[in-house]
């Protein structure tokens, strides 16, 4: 069990890191006093709804990546009444799936912006995956209304093209609660794999 702030995380040990992680989280869910119902089923529902809402708002963490889905609710602990508000705090244990890039991983992204010095792609929940022109061997910039990068074999990297790449680095942006990634086409079987024209 790894403790990260107020979040406990159990991550299975494996030789190769992958972009999808199965994690067990320990969170506290606060239910407002006016939402408390004497029926157990309604309370259980209120806890689940609040957990899912908190999960969506949290978005991502540096250590776990982007929160994608709650898979199972393992345990709801005994509620504790908060003195000044009357709200009830319930400790919960649940399993979730997260998404995080790792250096050396081979992934695919879709180009959404073409600049003279490189392209920005989306890959899963990550909006800022940058491929520099310096990391695109044999590709040259072709300016124009539909600017793109092209090589001598007429292989094209432009808007809406899916590109297979290798991750060379990631950066956590705390204020935005998101990651940025720097990627490369240096390696075997990397480059455009589909174009919107096909």
Q: Where in the chain is the domain with CATH 2.40.50.140?
A: 105-192
Q: Where in the chain is the domain with CATH 3.30.1490.120?
A: 20-99
CA dist., res. 191 & res. 153, Å (int)? 12
Q: Which residues contact 116 (CB under 8 A, 6 or more apart)?
A: 133, 141, 143, 147
| pLDDT, tens only, 59-89 | 899 999 999 999 999 999 998 998 888 889 9
Secondary-structure breakdown of the chain: helix, strand, coil percentages, each rounded to the nearest 5: 15, 50, 35
* Fold held by 105-192: OB fold (Dihydrolipoamide Acetyltransferase, E2P) (2.40.50)
| pLDDT, tens only, 133-160 | 999 999 999 999 999 999 999 999 999 9
| pLDDT, tens only, 109-141 | 999 999 999 999 999 999 999 999 999 999 999
Amino acid 4: pLDDT: 36
Report the CATH superfamily, name and number, of domain 20-99: RNA polymerase Rpb7-like, N-terminal domain (3.30.1490.120)
């Amino acid at each position: 069990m790894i403790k990260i702030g107020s979040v406990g995380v159990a991550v299975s040990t494996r030789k190769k890191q992958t972009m999808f992680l199965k994690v067990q989280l320990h969170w506290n869910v606060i239910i407002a006093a006016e939402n408390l119902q004497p029926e157990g089923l309604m309370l259980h529902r209120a806890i689940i709804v609040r957990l899912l809402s908190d999960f969506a708002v949290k978005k991502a963490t540096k250590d776990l990546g982007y929160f994608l889905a709650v898979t199972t609710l393992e345990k709801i602990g005994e509620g504790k009444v908060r003195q000044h508000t009357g709200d009830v705090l319930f400790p919960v244990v649940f399993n979730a799936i997260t998404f995080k890039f790792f250096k050396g991983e081979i992934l695919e992204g879709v180009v959404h912006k073409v600049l003279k010095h490189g392209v920005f792609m989306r890959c899963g929940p990550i909006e800022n995956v940058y491929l520099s022109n310096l990391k695109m061997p044999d590709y040259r910039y072709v300016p124009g209304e539909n600017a793109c990068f092209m090589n001598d074999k007429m292989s094209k990297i432009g808007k809406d093209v899916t590109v297979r790449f290798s991750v060379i680095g990631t950066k956590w942006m705390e204020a935005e609660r998101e990651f940025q990634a720097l990627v490369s086409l240096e390696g075997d079987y990397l480059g455009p794999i589909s174009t919107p024209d096909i």
